[in-house]
C-alpha cells in the first residue's frame, strides 16, 4: 500500500515539475500538466491545417526560439529565422538525432542507418556511404547519360499515356523514374521505367505512405509510448508496424541476392561493397553489419524517392496553374536548345529562367518545411536559452522561405526574384531546401541534376494542362513528414 502511495507521489511530483518551466527555458505556450502543449498544437493545426504553419505561428508570437513540451517526450525546441537556424545547424552539439520510441522502432530498436544516427555510428556510415556511392558516379556529371535516358523515358511514357486521355497518377510514374538511377547505384540493376517489378512498386508506395502518415513532432506514440498497447489501431501503431515490416522484408530479400559474392570479387554496387566491408571487419564490435546495411539502404531509398519526386510534382502543379510561366520556360528552352537535341546538364547556365522556376517552387512549396529533428548531445545554451542534453530541436526552414522582410512578397509565385538585371540566375542564401551544416542532405547534387534534367526534358516536348472543369489544385500541398504535391489529373499535349 505504501509503495503504491509512494509511486503516486513520485509521479505527481514529476508531473508538477514538468509543468513548471525551468529557468531559461525558451518561451512558449504554458500547456497543461502531463500532456504539456499537445492541445495547443492540435488547436493551431486545426486553424492552419499544416504543422509547418503552426511552427511559424508560434515563432510570430514567441520569437525565434520556442520551447514546447509534448507528453512524456523530451522538450521540443522550434528554431525560426535565418540567423537562428544557421547558428543551430552549424553547432556540433545539436547534430544528434532524437531517440524517441518511433524513431528507434523504425531502425530496429536502436540507432542504425544514416538519417537517424549520430556520433561515431553516423560518422562511419555516412563517410563509407558517400565514398562508395561516389565510386559509382553518385553526384557526378558522369551519371548524366543515365539521368538523361530516364528523363527521356519518362517523357515518352507520359506521351503514350496521354494518348488515351488524362494522366491520373503522374506522381507514381515520376517516382519510379527518379528511383531508377539511384537503384542502379544501390543494387546494380537498371529497370526500364514503367516496367519495374511489382515488389519495387510496392516498396515505393509503402515509403510514400509512411511519409504521408507521419510528422516531424513524432506523433502520439512518441509522446505516450504506452498507448500502443492500449490502442494500437487508433494510434496508428499497427499500421506503422505493418509498413515497417513489409519495407524491411523487401530490403532483406534484396540484400540476400547479393550475399553470394566473394570478398575478392570487385563490387559493382553499394550493397556488394558494403557486404565485402562486413567480411573484412569480421567483428561483432564493428559498426558494419547486415542490419546497418538494411537501414542505410532504407534511408537512401526513402530520401531519394520522396523529396525529389515531390519537387517535380510541385513544379508541374505550379505550371499548370501559372500557364504564363510555363510558356516562358518553353520559349527559353526552344530558343536555346534545338528541338532535335535533348537538354543536358551543360545547358544549366543557358536556361536561367528554368532554374529560377525550380528555385521559386522549392521556396514556395516548402517540401521539407523543417529539418529532420536534431538532438542536443550535451547541455548548452542557445541565444540565451538553456538547452539540456536530449532536447529535440527543429529548424523551421519555412520561416526563412516566407520571410516578408527578405522576399517582399513571399506569398506570390514570382520566379523573376531569382533573375538579375542582366537576365542571369542568382543564388540566394535564404533558399535552403537541402538544409545546412554537417547534417545537410548528402544527395543534394544528384537531386538538383535529376530535377533539372527531368523538368527540362518534359517541358521541351510537353505542354501540361488541367482537364476542363478540373478544380485548381491546392498549391500548399498535402501535409506529412514532407509536403506532398496535390493530387490532380493532368493533360500533357505533345508539342512536336
Binding residues: 441
How far is CA 53 from each of CA 42, 73, 117, 212, rounded to the nearest angstrom? 12, 22, 28, 17
CB atoms within 10 A of CB 263: 12
Binding site residue list for heme: 441
Contacts of 167 (CB under 8 A, 6+ apart): 158, 161, 173, 489, 490, 491, 492
Instruction: List the beta bridge partners of residue 370.
Output: 396
Contact 372, 97 (CB under 8 A): yes
Contacts of 300 (CB under 8 A, 6+ apart): 114, 129, 182, 186, 270, 443
Q: Which three cell numbers stand for residue 197?
A: 517489378
**Which residue shows C-alpha cell 488547436?**
43
Cα dihedral 381/386/390/393 (nearest 10): -80
Name the E strands within 135-287: none
For residues 49 and 412, give the distance between their C-alpha atoms in angstroms, rounded to a whole number.
20
Amino acid at each position: 500500500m505504501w509503495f503504491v502511495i509512494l509511486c503516486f507521489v513520485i509521479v505527481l511530483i514529476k508531473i508538477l515539475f514538468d509543468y513548471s518551466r525551468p529557468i531559461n527555458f525558451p518561451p512558449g505556450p504554458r500547456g497543461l500538466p502531463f500532456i504539456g502543449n499537445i492541445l495547443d498544437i492540435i488547436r493551431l493545426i486545426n486553424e492552419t491545417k499544416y504543422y509547418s504553419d503552426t511552427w511559424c505561428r508560434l515563432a510570430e508570437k514567441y520569437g525565434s526560439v520556442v520551447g514546447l513540451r509534448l507528453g512524456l517526450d523530451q522538450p521540443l525546441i522550434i528554431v525560426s529565422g535565418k540567423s537562428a537556424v544557421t547558428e543551430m545547424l552549424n553547432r556540433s552539439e545539436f547534430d544528434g538525432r532524437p531517440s524517441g520510441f518511433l524513431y528507434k522502432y523504425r531502425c530496429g530498436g536502436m540507432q542504425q542507418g544514416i538519417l537517424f544516427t549520430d556520433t561515431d555510428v553516423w560518422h562511419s556510415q555516412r563517410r563509407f556511404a558517400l565514398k562508395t556511392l561516389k565510386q559509382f558516379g553518385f553526384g557526378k556529371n558522369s551519371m548524366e547519360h543515365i539521368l538523361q535516358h530516364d528523363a527521356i523515358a519518362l517523357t515518352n511514357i507520359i506521351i503514350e499515356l496521354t494518348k488515351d486521355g488524362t494522366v491520373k497518377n503522374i506522381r507514381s510514374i515520376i517516382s519510379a523514374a527518379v528511383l531508377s538511377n539511384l537503384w542502379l547505384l544501390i543494387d546494380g540493376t537498371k529497370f526500364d521505367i514503367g516496367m519495374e517489378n511489382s515488389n519495387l512498386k510496392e516498396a515505393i508506395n509503402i515509403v510514400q505512405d509512411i511519409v504521408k502518415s507521419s510528422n516531424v513532432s513524432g506523433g502520439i506514440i512518441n509522446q505516450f509510448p504506452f498507448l500502443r498497447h492500449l490502442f494500437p489501431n487508433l494510434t496508428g501503431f499497427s499500421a506503422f508496424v505493418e509498413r515497417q515490416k513489409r519495407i524491411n522484408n523487401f530490403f532483406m530479400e534484396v540484400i540476400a541476392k547479393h550475399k553470394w559474392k566473394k570478398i575478392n570479387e570487385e563490387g559493382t554496387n553499394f550493397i556488394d561493397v558494403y557486404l565485402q566491408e562486413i567480411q573484412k571487419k569480421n567483428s561483432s564490435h564493428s559498426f558494419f553489419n547486415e542490419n546497418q546495411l538494411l537501414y542505410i539502404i532504407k534511408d537512401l531509398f526513402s530520401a531519394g524517392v520522396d523529396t525529389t519526386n515531390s519537387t517535380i510534382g510541385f513544379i508541374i502543379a505550379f505550371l499548370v496553374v501559372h500557364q504564363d510561366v510555363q510558356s516562358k520556360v518553353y520559349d527559353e528552352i526552344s530558343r536555346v536548345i534545338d528541338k532535335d537535341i535533348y537538354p543536358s546538364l551543360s545547358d544549366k547556365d543557358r536556361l536561367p529562367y528554368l532554374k529560377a522556376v525550380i528555385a521559386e517552387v522549392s521556396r514556395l512549396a516548402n517540401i521539407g518545411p523543417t529539418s529532420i529533428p536534431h538532438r542536443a548531445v550535451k547541455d548548452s545554451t542557445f541565444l540565451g536559452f538553456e538547452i539540456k542534453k536530449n532536447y529535440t530541436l527543429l529548424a523551421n526552414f519555412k520561416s526563412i522561405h516566407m520571410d516578408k522582410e527578405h522576399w517582399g512578397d513571399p506569398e506570390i509565385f514570382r520566379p523573376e526574384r531569382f533573375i538579375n538585371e542582366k537576365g542571369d540566375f542568382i543564388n540566394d542564401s535564404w533558399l535552403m531546401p537541402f538544409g545546412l551544416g554537417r547534417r545537410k542532405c548528402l544527395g543534394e547534387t544528384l537531386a538538383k541534376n535529376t530535377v533539372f534534367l527531368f523538368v527540362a526534358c518534359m517541358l521541351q516536348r510537353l505542354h501540361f494542362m488541367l482537364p476542363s472543369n478540373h478544380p485548381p489544385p491546392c498549391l500548399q500541398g498535402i501535409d506529412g513528414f514532407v509536403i506532398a504535391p496535390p493530387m490532380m489529373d493532368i493533360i500533357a499535349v505533345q508539342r512536336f
